[in-house]
Structure 1
Amino acid sequence: MSETHPESLTPREEEAEQTLPEQTAEAAREAGAPVAEAGAEDEGRLPVAPAGTGEDADAPVGPTCDEAQAGDAEGEDAAPAKTREERIKELEEEGDIAADYLEELLDIADLDGDIDIDVDGDRASVEIRGATQLAKLNEPRGELLDALQELTRLAVQSSTGSRSRLMLDIGGYRAQHKGSLEQLAEDAVNSVKQDGEPVALRPMNPFERKVVHDVAKQAGLRSESEGDGKDRHVVIHPAS
């Protein structure tokens, strides 16, 4: 269920003086993504999708989008539930749309990279491999990855008309950092269990918060995301 889209790119002399973030932002505009223009204080930074389109369905409180849709499906006129085969076909289509978008983005920005497509659970999964320059720009916090993921989700949504939960990775970044995040969360869980007091972790991006929420849930504890923007973090509470 996985396929590879090779991409071999040649540099463009007329764009040589642009920084890579500027090239990537310009590439997003040319590829048709709905990107907001950055203000003076954001100059040189890749624009990010508006709040609310992100992956912060990581919070364990309240019904998820899938749960809400399942609830709606109980109505008399609700559409019949999709089979697993139909859902996989939709996710594969998301992956193909995302791969085409990312290939065009890399081509415009004169960046190397191969696109791998897969289906992971109930999400399309896309990884950019062999993208050395992108991987360096993505360190150490994965902020470039988060921005590209949102742009790619918007491109998929624009094509399909449905909100995408597609997961993007660059050079195995998510897999490499998941283990250390799980250990950090486990240490916090042990502290909460021992002292009976909530523990607030450092600010994290949506992917990192999701990993922490999963560890807390498996340990039988309650966790919540608090704060706004770059200060958003997870607080782990004792079991109710």
Structure 2
Amino acid sequence: MAVQISPSILSADFARLADEAARVAGVADWLHVDVMDNHFVPNLTLGLPVVEALLKAVSTPVDCHLMIEDPDRWAVGYAEAGAKSVTIHAEAAKAPVRTLRAIRKEGARAGFALNPATAVDAYEDLLPEIDMLLLMTVEPGFGGQPFLDGVLPKIRRARSLVSKHGLEVWIQVDGGVADETIERCAEAGADVFVAGNAVYGRDDPAGAVQALRALAEGA
């Protein structure tokens, strides 16, 4: 598994998003953009117009994580805008297969996210429809929360199911990923790591990305 680091701009300076993205350009694999609507999660961040503007200003591929109600309606728009990965939540999607296929049709990777309490086994049959499985390691909605160790067995189970079916599905973790937790996630089978405060809370975000990568690769 190739380690990939996806800094989350949720922890960046929203007044300087293009500049903040540039601080990790060349070392980050992705730029993680959390879209929250204050309905599916109790927070409001940004939407499609801001993402469209950001896409014009950054060189790093953008990974949009939609924590919104009715992702079936909105997800394809992010792929059409140029996001290279678009993730919808199992708990919000009413027609996940149709939406995931529509995302792929636009040339983006299709991601499927599960909250901490959502079991992965219920979605085993859906794995061939996705490119990335996102396992939340905090309750979605806010950055800076402590990592939930209880999700580690689910990461192992997800990796087992992906291997069982011979699929090339990435397993992404999001929430509380830091120097102290990333090795445990990698050992459990994750290969894509979203990090907010652990990157943008440091004086040297690029150096933080490199340090996280080294820890995950050494696990």
Please give the TM-score of this superposition, normalised by the length of structure 1. Answer: 0.25
User: Which one has the bigger strand percentage?
Assistant: 2
User: Which one has the bigger helix percentage?
Assistant: 1
Q: Which has the larger radius of gyration?
A: 1
